[in-house]
Structure 1
């Protein structure tokens, strides 16, 4: 299959927006982590901290894979421009694989994020239930 220079270029806006979304997730988690240092420690908080640590690692992998995809996309365009068509095709395929990995990590992070909200809701429920007993 022969691709032209425009094919990898079509991924540029998508990858850029994806990296922006990943950065926003990272900044939100950083704020949450900084706020945790002010809270009292209990089992619920410790579970949330463990959850946040895992999410940070996933976001790091998402960002690295996204940047890798962007990088490979540019290298693919360069190879195609220099008339190394087959090399450009293979590098573009690697770019797509890297992008797929990044998206998979994003799905995993979303699922863990939902789990974090469940931890928080459980803590709120326990506080509510204990206040009713008093």
Structure 2
């Protein structure tokens, strides 16, 4: 298969959109962590149900860090593909573009894992609300 600029150009709209989506998730997660931190410093105690949530939040921040890192490497590899095509190194461009695709696939799988953890955190909230409803 021949690779040219149009193949590398296919990734250009996808990568920034993915990184924007990841950044929005990271921003929302950091706002939640700051809110929990403020609540903890105000109350000076940690409710027992927070233990699981804090563990999930820590895992989510780590997953998002790696998700955004792999997406950034995918973007870097995509730009390197264009450079190698410009320099006429077709074989090297193919290898680098394969690296770009692999990085983006890993990034998507990590993002799916983060969504799973996010869903798990929401289930903790729902179980808290359910137990409060039963106590009334």
Q: TM-score range by the shorter chain?
A: over 0.9
Partners of 2:98 and 2:68 in 1: CA distance: 19
Task: Quote the RMSD (CA, aligned, Å).
Answer: 0.9
Of 20-29 and 118-127, more deviation after overlay is shown by 118-127
Q: Secondary structure at the match of 2:102?
A: helix
Partners of 1:111 and 1:41 in 2: CA distance: 25
Following superposition, which runs of at least 4 residues in structure 1 exceed 6 angstroms of deviation? none
Work out whether 1:54 is the aligned partner of 2:59.
yes
Q: Secondary structure at the match of 1:33?
A: helix
How many angstroms does 1:70 deviate by?
0.3
* Corresponding residue for residue 66 of structure 1: 71
Q: Secondary structure at the match of 1:43?
A: coil
- The superposition leaves residues 65-91 of structure 1 with CA deviations (integer Å, 9 ceiling, x where unpaired) of 000000000001100111000100110
Structure 2 length as normaliser, TM-score?
0.93
* Corresponding residue for residue 117 of structure 1: 122
Partners of 2:88 and 2:100 in 1: CA distance: 18
Q: Residues 29-108 of structure 1: matches in 2 within 5 Å? A: 29-37=29-37, 38-39=39-40, 41-108=46-113
- The superposition leaves residues 29-50 of structure 1 with CA deviations (integer Å, 9 ceiling, x where unpaired) of 0011011120552221121111
Specify every segment of 5 or more residues in structure 2 that has no aligned partner in the other structure, as ranges: none
* Corresponding residue for residue 12 of structure 1: 12
Partners of 2:134 and 2:19 in 1: CA distance: 41
Partners of 1:44 and 1:122 in 2: CA distance: 10
Query: Paired residues, what number?
Result: 131
